[in-house]
Chain A
Amino acid sequence: MDLGPYLFLASLEGAVTAAVLALTAVGLSLVFGVMRVVNVAHGEFFMLGAVLAWWVASLAGGHPAIGFALAVLVAPVIAGAIAAAADFIVLKRLDYDPENTIVATIGILYIIQQTVLMTYGPDARPVEAPFSYRIYFPWFGYSAYKLFVIAAAVAILLGVWAIMARTRIGLVLRATQLDRETAQAFGIPVERVYALVFGLGAGLAALAAVLIVPIQQAHYLMGGDPLLLSFIVVIIGGLGSLSGTVVAAIIIGMSDGIISVFFTPTLAKIIATLLVAFILVFRPTGLFGTRSA
């Protein structure tokens, strides 16, 4: 294969990585932006999404599309509900103290991970893709499902943007992010907003995992990489900036895909981590961040 088509294939792989990463990282960014909580358990909500997707799909039976559609609806809601409960039971009681919540979310990470290990077990299990067409380009065939993942991620991100920019609930979230105390003085129930945001952030990670699980397989340790990459993306994009997060996810996802195809995945991670180091040295607020955290 010539360099051109090869680069095209690598870009497609990068776009899939970028799409899933953008969804996951936007969830992390939303939680940090509004609540100022660094959610170390974010990757576990991603993993929960994948495991729940397998569970729902295996219960549903029938055509794989039925199980997948159910998983898209059910898995993010359950993961979000668990997150909202964790917020209510743990984070609220710590008064959202920045340092204490880091330690607490590390605890939540292990609770979720070990609970999944004890119930779901140590195996990696596949979820069948809802459809298995291949699209034939002149040089190679490519899974239509992967293209669907890209399109779905774009649609979901547009939906998140519309909610934040155009709805009353988005207005309430942005006001809470800008000034928690004044928001409260204007009747905004900050505690409920926080539970909602924590649930929404986890739900986005779970949704990303449902999309990727037909390509990757569900496993109880799969939350590590998305967590690391999400942190990289959120730092590069600027803490709390959703648009910055999306741009950074595209940069990191695409370069990860392309470098992985041409060289090795390890080199891709090295370069991404190096990029974070440079950003932290030369532009600590990130590409789109305006204020320091």
Chain B
Amino acid sequence: MLDVSNILVAYGEAPVLHGISLAVNAGEILCLMGRNGAGKTTTMKAIMGLLPLSAGSVHLDGEDISALPPHEVPKRGIGYIPQGRRLFSELTVAENLEIGLMVRGGGKKVRDRVLDIFPRLRERLGQRAETLSGGEQQMLATARALCIEPKLLLLDEPTEGLQPSMIDQIRQVIVEMKMQGVAILLVEQRVDAVLSIADRVAFIENGRNRDIVDAATLRKNHALLTRYVGV
């Protein structure tokens, strides 16, 4: 479904990605792993069209989405849950969801379905996003992306700074989306979380692709984890 081929990204003169390639299929969770500064978040932003590519391309279902203006990219069905949540802090929960719904003209049905997944948000619709707890904010960031009815979900460290019960809930939602055939690209630092839900793991280092392996292989052999993320 998602096909990233050999993308180069530079911030000004400094190159950050030196040719990253990866592919995610429908109903698959691909986890992107690497040390801080390896280029994980940059890869996500490049897929969303938020950073200009110096070379390479990003295809979604055969369409070259890297040729589109940035605001057209999510309309193709990509839900983005950025690192640090990046909620519209002064807007209410309902307004944050409305922004998500507007992307693909989702109506009340979509909204209700998303709120059924996160019933806690329904109680907080009129509250400003910045007043929510950390876990609720992550729910809202996820719910906002689900309002797009995505066929591809990009999650950048969705469990960062959350308590275990909340991590579990977010993980269940990710697995549920996978079951529904959504392609999922996940950036995650916590090895146990990765090994329990990922189908494949792509390691990146200094903006370059390294091994892409099945999660099952990693569970048996930790050598790659030690090498690329030091655990």
CB-contact partner of A178 in B50, B75, B90, B144, under 8 A: B90
Question: Which residue in chain A gives the minimum CB-CB distance to B50?
Answer: A181
A186 touches B103 (CB 8 A): yes
The smallest C-beta distance from B136 to any residue of chain A, in angstroms, reads 18
A171 touches B98 (CB 8 A): yes
User: On chain B, which size bracket covers the interface?
Assistant: 20 to 34
Residues on A with C-beta less than 8 A from B50 are: 181, 184-185
Chain A residues in contact with chain B, CB under 8 A? 168, 171-172, 174-175, 178-179, 181-190
A187 to B98, CA, bound (A): 12
Residues on B with C-beta less than 8 A from A190 are: 70-71
Question: Which residue in chain A gives the minimum CB-CB distance to B154?
Answer: A185
A188 to B80, CA, bound (A): 14
B89 touches A178 (CB 8 A): yes
CB-contact partner of B86 in A172, A182, A188, A189, under 8 A: A182
B100 at the interface (CB under 8 A from A): yes
The binding surface of chain A is classed by DSSP as helix
CB-contact partner of A185 in B82, B95, B102, under 8 A: B82
Question: Could you write out 26 A-B pairs with CB less than 8 Å apart?
Answer: A168-B98, A168-B102, A171-B99, A172-B99, A174-B88, A175-B99, A178-B88, A178-B90, A178-B91, A182-B82, A182-B86, A183-B88, A184-B49, A184-B50, A184-B70, A184-B71, A185-B74, A185-B82, A186-B74, A186-B80, A186-B100, A186-B102, A186-B144, A187-B103, A188-B99, A189-B71
A171 touches B71 (CB 8 A): no
B88 touches A189 (CB 8 A): no
B75 touches A174 (CB 8 A): no
Interface string of B99-140 (1 = CB under 8 A from A): 110111000000000000000000000000000000000000
Kindly list 8 other residue pairs between chains A and B, CB separation below 8 angstroms, not including A181-B86, A186-B102, A189-B69: A171-B99, A174-B90, A174-B91, A175-B95, A183-B99, A184-B50, A185-B73, A186-B148
A174 to B99, CA, bound (A): 11
The smallest C-beta distance from B94 to any residue of chain A, in angstroms, reads 10
Interface string of B74-98 (1 = CB under 8 A from A): 1100001010001011110001001
The smallest C-beta distance from A168 to any residue of chain B, in angstroms, reads 7
Q: Which 9 residue pairs are nearest across A and B when measured between Cβ atoms?
A: A187-B103, A182-B86, A189-B71, A178-B88, A187-B74, A185-B80, A184-B70, A175-B88, A185-B48
A179 touches B86 (CB 8 A): yes
B86 touches A171 (CB 8 A): no
Residues on A with C-beta less than 8 A from B86 are: 179, 181-182
Question: Which residue in chain A gives the minimum CB-CB distance to B69?
Answer: A189
Given contacts A171-B98, A182-B82, contact A187 B90 (CB under 8 A): no
The CB with the most chain A CB atoms within 10 A, among B71, B75, B90, B102, is that of B71
Given contacts A168-B102, A171-B95, A171-B99, contact A187 B88 (CB under 8 A): no
CB-contact partner of A187 in B75, B82, B89, B95, under 8 A: B75
Residues on B with C-beta less than 8 A from A188 are: 71, 99
B102 touches A182 (CB 8 A): no
Given contacts A186-B99, A186-B103, contact A171 B91 (CB under 8 A): yes
